[in-house]
Structure 1
């Protein structure tokens, strides 16, 4: 067994020997101590060692069972793919076919898809003989498929060493607040959440894993924010990871007196740009929010604000496991704990990974992310605008939930908007736009906007799984609406 895996198992064994009455893992009705957790994982390890070599794909709802199999794959040193629930059937097929995965663990809900791909169910696993295989880089422990700006996911190959190093740094970052109860909010198919669970286990905390529907996550189709906030409040969670959209809902609920901060001690937020205004609102209500930055190719987390070392409006300082620099054009580059490579592509050359994000460091070494390099547009007056910046400002005051900005080659910037509440009137939306405009330079202001007929979602192909807009897809889908705004 690799040294890093041996270390992780020894940490779990130490927690088990401590004899704490607190559960290590909690589901809807099940509770497992650390000793029971290890027993469950070892039982599944032995089953995996009996199977033919090759990756295993997990398509399981959040819950203890999903965690046990994930850890079993890790400790048995079998490459693992955790398929996100927001992937479409064609995306799932791509992942399985490209990786030539011989084993899939999934419920009958995926049976029709798997049979069509040639898989046969043996009572526990869906099996398929390997006919050919793109060579995995040596040491691949997890293949995490990105849900970036294109429809076809890319397989990022990561080592156990990289993932556990990041998990260790996440645990160290939250250690001053001593959270002992972690609530899993995002699907385990999201790498950041996967590593958040590892970090909680390293800390000896209790991990609560509830089915996504109980959290208000209806697969790819949306979020019942009231149900999610109820789960957070009733769970007694002290730490969790959120994307900006969920943070907005939490902050707004606290501001309106619908819930309190409760036991929360460490709330990490990432996945997309967070408005400085929203972070200020979180601070005003006493919510301990720490924004971070990373990408799958760097095993998820690169920078993070931490207790005693936090500067709202930045993504924090680089964590100890990486080095970060800026290219001449401002692009963020990372060296250190990075991927082994993309599945099916030649190995990357060079030690520095170009992220595609634009950034700047302040005098104290805090990193400011300015937006995606490829998303920056130039107005007809020659002004450069990062749309993520304007979109984050529009969605920070509790009126607008989603925004999309377009202005390439135009004299006026256009916006597509979706309100936080269906009861919000057009006049209230316009007032929110004007409030935002008052704090923006003239070249970044929104001059015309349209109300969306439905929210952006991964189910309609307009959002990635972690909440980022698929910009090209949105533009093509609403091209007529945008053209109408131009001619008004």
Structure 2
């Protein structure tokens, strides 16, 4: 695998058709040939910073950016090891991870300079701005020649970390899988046929990346894109919906928040269809045309007539839209499915080398993460247990095995009679009330859809008797009292023991900067409980 990826990096220099698009003041387009040039320049500068023999370990920290991607790819190509540190951590936490990983140097976004003072390492900065490089600007380093070969690429090429939703980030050692053995001609022919008859072989494919590069999955998709000649669009959570509309990607992996926000806009557009189109839309659903494959001529015909304005909401192309990382509102999945778009749900863990389960065109059921791709069983307490050979794990100590060799995921779920896997929630997040009833916070939060779409609600219990919500509602939209009314309006949709009876109003939303969200925009529930544990709670029905 590492030789295949190195070959893909070498081919970049001859490719002027594919590109990387990002924002830096305005829209910037870099061809892959230009990307190859920037990678080689970064390799030369990194070589200058290498001070001793042995593995050169480079800490990388910052939001998703073109520069971050270049540095990560340069480390792989040069045979250096990168350490991708989550950018939402505090200065002491960053220092601890870099020290534990044995980083020799750290490269960071200039915006994070204040947090790096405690690392004790020499820091070099990118995205500094201005025309004259500062003394610690990475771009100001005069590079030296460095020979890159496939043999130099490290098997253990990077160190990453889990998202930290459990309270502690876990180290994940990233290694290239062994080189694939040659397959028989029939197997290769079948694989090639499937590829050529799928959207993956199209020349206009475009991957959309806006989640942090410190997250392992995002970098994995970049590697996939480079090997399959898929153009890349880089964005950020603040403007991703706008870029989605403008750049029209057809491949995206996102947290539920984005899909939930888009679903609200789709519903608004559907409500604006005129009487004739409403009638055609009902026929479209009755005949099940939305369930046909994307390239089906009947689906395309109806789609052009019904959804010209709807498609503008998500860019118009959605061949492979995937969600994961957290539970998604089934209403969101249904909204997309009604207009002919399947949002595929994936389930895996950063500590594991393979995805556990993934829905697909063939195995699709709303609310399910598809059929497991590894052996799965459900424990007596509802925990999902998976079986992956210990030899496949780069960091076996990062997971817990039971006596039968199954790995404890910490997630609760169930399998239906057809073998589809459903995720119920995190084992650590389940609230067990003093009457013995269980409450899944994520499920309650989906009822308050408007808050969940903005990552502005965390359901918990501070006394083990009553359900409380820590939430934010903007002052310009009514603040505390508007929040109280909204919670009261949602409660009738919940069973009695799940009703939110108390709430704590926070003046500011949950963000990565204040440590209440992870880099993948998941709630850091333990930290939220700690921060608001002493807050004065108010009654929803006051």
Length-normalised TM-score, structure 1:
0.78
Residues 146-161 of structure 1 aligned to structure 2 (within 5 Å)? 146-149=162-165, 152-161=168-177
Structure 2 Cα separation of the partners of residues 188 and 474 of structure 1:
24
Matching residue within 249, 252, 263 for 1:251: 263
Q: Is 2:296 the counterpart of 1:270?
A: no
Partner of 2:184: none
Q: Is 1:327–2:370 an aligned residue pair?
A: no
2:231 aligns with one of 206, 225, 236: 206
Out of 386, 393, 402, the residue aligned to residue 440 of structure 2 is 386
Counterpart position of 1:134:
none
Q: Judging changes above 3 Å, is the alpha-carbon distance between structure 1 residues 271 and 470 closer, same or farther for their aligned structure 2 residues?
A: same
Tell me what 1:24 maps to: 19
Partner deviation per Cα, 1:442-477 (whole Å, 9 max, x = no partner): 322323444432222222222222222222222222
- Measure the CA separation in 1 of the matches of 2:90 and 2:537: 29
Q: Give the counterpart of 1:145 among 155, 161, 164.
A: 161
User: What secondary structure, in the 3-state scheme, does the structure 2 residue paired with 1:296 have?
Assistant: coil
Whole-Å separation in 2 of the counterparts to 1:89 and 1:397: 30
Q: Deviations over 1:116-165 (max 9, x none)?
A: 533346874999xxxxxxxxxx953221122314665332212122999x
> SS at the partner of 2:351?
helix
Report the Cα distance in structure 2 between the residues aligned to 1:267 and 1:249, rounded to whole angstroms: 14
Q: How does 1:407-446 map to 2 (within 5 A)?
A: 407=461, 410-419=464-473, 422-423=476-477, 429=483, 432-433=486-487, 436-446=490-500
Q: Do 2:207 and 2:250's aligned partners in 1 also have CA atoms closer than 8 Å?
A: yes
User: 8 Å contact 2:399–2:408 — kept in the other structure?
Assistant: no
- Between the aligned partners of 1:332 and 1:79, the Cα distance in structure 2 is 33
Aligned residues: 450
Q: Deviations over 1:180-222 (max 9, x none)?
A: 0112111211222222222222331101224xxxx4x4xxxxx
Aligned to 2:65: 63
Shifted more, 200-209 versus 296-305: the winner is 296-305
In the alignment, the residues of structure 1 paired with residue 523 and residue 179 of structure 2 have an alpha-carbon distance, to the nearest angstrom, of 26
- Measure how far apart 1:315 and its partner are: 2.0
- For the 8 Å contact 1:406–1:414, the answer to whether it is kept is yes
- The answer to whether the 8 Å contact 2:90/2:115 transfers is no
Structure index of larger Rg: 2
2:187 match? none
Alignment counterpart, residue 233 of structure 1, candidates 240, 245, 267: 245
Residues 117 and 430 of structure 1, relative CA distance in 2, 3 Å threshold: closer
Q: Which moved more, 1:149-158 or 1:346-355?
A: 346-355
- In 1, distance between residues paired with 2:179 and 2:424? 26
Distance 1:436 1:487, change over 3 A: closer
Structure 1 distance, partners of 2:441, 2:363, is 28
Q: CA deviation at 1:360?
A: 0.7
Say if 2:458 is the partner of 1:404.
Answer: yes
Partner of 2:518: 464
Match of 1:362 in 2: 416
Does residue 294 (structure 1) correspond to residue 348 (structure 2)? The answer is yes
Provide structure 1 residue ranges, at least 5 long, that are not aligned to the other structure: 128-137, 218-223
Task: Compute the RMSD of aligned alpha carbons.
Answer: 3.9
Contact 2:329 2:446 in 1 (8 A): yes
Q: Is the 8 A contact 1:358 1:369 kept in 2?
A: yes
CA shift digits 1:266-297 (9 cap, x unpaired): 22112211121222223335544222222211
1:133 is matched with which residue?
A: none
